[in-house]
Amino acid sequence: MNTDFRAGFSGVISGLFFSAVILSHFIILANGDSQIACGQRAVSVKTSQSRIVGGRDAVEGAWPWQVSLQVISKQAHVCGATVISQWWLLSAAHCFPSTNGLNNKSHWRAVMGLRDLSIYSEWTITRKIDALILHEKYNNIQNDIAVLKVDRVIGFGDYIRAACLPKPDKFHIEKWNHCHVTGWGLMEQNGAPTRILQEAGVKLISLETCQQVNWYGSSVTDKMICAGFAGGGIDACQGDSGGPLSCQLKGTERFYVVGVVSWGQGCAQRFKPGVYTSTSIYGDWIEQKTGILISQSEDAGVEFDNGDSGAESLEEKQSVPTPVSYGVEQPISLVRRNSPGRSIPLLNLIIVLYHFCS
Q: What single-letter amino acid sits at 171? A: F
Task: Give the C-alpha separation, 308 to 39, whole Å.
Answer: 21
Contact 114, 125 (CB under 8 A): no
Task: Reply yes or no on whether 94 is catalytic.
Answer: yes
Q: What single-letter amino acid sits at 16? A: L
List the catalytic residue out of 94, 107, 135, 180. Answer: 94
Contact 160, 36 (CB under 8 A): no
Residues 6+ positions from 213 with CB-CB distance below 8 Å: none
276-298 burial string, b = 16+ CB within 10 Å, else e? bbbbbbbbebbbebbbbebeebe
Task: Give the C-alpha separation, 220 to 203, whole Å.
Answer: 17
Task: Reply yes or no on whether 135 is catalytic.
Answer: no
Task: Reply yes or no on whether 144 is catalytic.
Answer: yes
List the catalytic residue out of 91, 241, 262, 280. Answer: 241
Q: Which of 128, 250, 243 is nearest to 180 (CA)?
A: 243
List the catalytic residue out of 107, 144, 278, 297. Answer: 144
Q: What single-letter amino acid sits at 346? A: L
CA 197 to chain centre: 13
Residues 6+ positions from 47 with CB-CB distance below 8 Å: 62, 178, 180, 199, 201
Q: Which of 105, 71, 98, 79 is nearest to 328 (CA)?
A: 98
Residues 6+ positions from 74 with CB-CB distance below 8 Å: none
Residue 133's SS3 state is: strand
Catalytic residue IDs: 94, 144, 241
